[in-house]
Amino acid sequence: MPTTAEYFCAFCGEENTTFIDLSAGSQQSYVEDCQVCCRPNILHVHIDEDTLEVVINTEYEE
């Protein structure tokens, strides 16, 4: 069941929206390019299994 969530680019700080696949588990990590500056971000996605609240932390992809 896909849903969307927001994160802030680790490079330019702009807000981005990404699709989250809730069926892929409560802890996910993957690389996604910023929609503004096109630089790659490592997204660390944490999903609360009870509330389905999504928290995304980002870091630079080197």
For 53, the 3-state DSSP assignment is coil
- pTM of the predicted model as reported, rounded to 2 decimal places: 0.88
- Residues near 35 by beta carbon (within 8 Å), at least 6 away in sequence: 14, 16, 17
**pLDDT value of position 32:** 97
**pLDDT value of position 55:** 96
- pLDDT per position as a tens digit, 43-53: 999 999 899 99
Given a cut of 70, is residue 27 above it in pLDDT?
yes
Confidence of residue 28 (pLDDT cuts 50, 70, 90): very high
Name 15's bridge partners.
8
What mean pLDDT is reported for the chain?
Answer: 94
C-alpha 55/C-alpha 46 separation (Å) is 5
Whose structure tokens read 């680019």?
9
- Domain positions in the chain: 2-60
Given a cut of 60, is residue 15 above it in pLDDT?
yes
